[in-house]
Amino acid sequence: MLTKRQFVQRLSATLAVPAAFSGCATPGSTEPLWTPRALTQPGEFTPGIEGPACDRDGNIYAVNFAKQQTIGKTRPDGRSEIFVTLPGTSTGNGIVFDRSGSMFIADYVGHNVLRVDMRTKAISVFAHNPQMNQPNDLAIALDGTLYASDPNWKDGTGQLWRIDRDGKTTRLATGMGTTNGIDVSPDGKHLYVNESVQRDLWVFDIAPDKSLANKRLLRKFEDHGFDGHRCDADGNLYIARYGEGVVAVVSPKGEIIRKVPVLGAKPSNVCFGGPDGRTVYVTEVEHTRLVAFRTDRPGLAWKRWHGPR
């Protein structure tokens, strides 16, 4: 089966991007908005760099640091190390944290969602279903329900899954394109899903029984690919535009608010962190590194981390 990593390496549509920002500014509120800086050195990650997600202390976790099948831990100052190595042939893609601090990883090789105990670093299979193609990106609702995109890169198709808090898997949608980026709206009522090859951005209503309804096209893009995306606290989507070298900020109405260059043509995913939740971290494949920029609103995940529990 064609994997995501193999597929994206075949994409040829790229745009020139600006020269790298020096990164000399002190991380945090003193940085200018929308101005990218390199956080890690080129080559520290493999071309499978993805994820990413921040813990409550502001550390950034992304897959495939130094070698495949690892989860890397990067401190806000850019120092990185291997946090865990996944067992067997398991290889991670998307990462999310729940409000208790557990890490969940989409294991696209093993058809699993893995759970990591952050204190002991013990890794367990939280959910498994052989009918999954290769679970790709994860989203988490406020109640801990997980949603997974599940593309078949070879055939250009995809499906969606729900993973309940007990690990039970439910297939929510079939017959889609190459499902990739996925996130839940701030009010928990909508699920945003993009399709990489088809360049379509969809929104579903999340019904009271957690099924999906009323699928509708939020926006179609005419060029370049989609990869991961995340919501800010207002529900704007920050979408990694693989090939264009930008993170596109898209409103809940589907309007493009801005495009932020990310010092490389191949951003694969984003997350929010920093001291106030307004630092966006981008996994960038061309230079196999993390890039950061400041924004004007905190991320939804960060807001949930720091809200009442």
Contact 229, 238 (CB under 8 A): yes
| Residue pLDDT, tens place only, 235-253 | 999 999 999 999 999 999 9
3-state secondary structure of 304: helix
- The pTM of this model reads 0.91
pLDDT of residue 18: 34
| Residue pLDDT, tens place only, 183-225 | 999 999 999 999 999 999 999 999 999 999 999 999 999 999 9
Place of tokens 């370049």: 224
Place of tokens 């994997």: 3
Q: How far apart are CA 283 and CA 38, in angstroms?
A: 10
- Helix (H) / strand (E) element for 93: namely strand 92-97
pLDDT of residue 6: 57
Contact 212, 205 (CB under 8 A): yes
pLDDT of residue 305: 77
Strand order across the beta sheet in which 103-107 lies: 92-97, 103-107, 112-116, 123-128
Q: What's the average model confidence in pLDDT over 285-290? A: 98
Q: How far apart are CA 196 and CA 280, in angstroms?
A: 21
Place of tokens 């694969």: 268
* CA 194 to chain centroid: 12
Two tokens, residue 290: 């993390």
40 Cβ contact partners less than 8 Å away, ≥ 6 residues apart: 74, 78, 80, 289, 290
Q: How far apart are CA 144 and CA 130, in angstroms?
A: 23
pLDDT of residue 17: 35
Question: At residue 117, does pLDDT exceed 90?
Answer: yes
Q: What's the average model confidence in pLDDT over 246-266? A: 98
Instruction: State percent of the chain over pLDDT 70.
Output: 90
91 Cβ contact partners less than 8 Å away, ≥ 6 residues apart: 48, 63, 64, 68, 69, 107, 108, 109, 110
pLDDT of residue 22: 31
Half-sphere exposure of 224 (CA within 13 A, CB side): 19
pLDDT of residue 3: 62
Question: At residue 13, does pLDDT exceed 90?
Answer: no
| Residue pLDDT, tens place only, 57-71 | 999 999 999 999 999
pLDDT of residue 29: 63
| Residue pLDDT, tens place only, 171-186 | 999 999 999 999 999 9
- Give me the phi and psi of 130, to 5 degrees please: -65, -15
pLDDT of residue 306: 76
Task: Label residues 134-158 b or e (16+ Cβ within 10 Å = b).
Answer: bbbbbbbbeeebbbbbbbbbeeebb
Q: How far apart are CA 299 and CA 303, in angstroms?
A: 6
Question: At residue 23, does pLDDT exceed 80?
Answer: no
Which one of 3.40.50.300, 3.60.15.10, 2.120.10.30, 3.40.50.620 gives the CATH number of domain 4-305? 2.120.10.30
| Residue pLDDT, tens place only, 126-140 | 999 999 999 999 999
Q: What's the average model confidence in pLDDT over 45-60? A: 97
Two tokens, residue 81: 């190390």
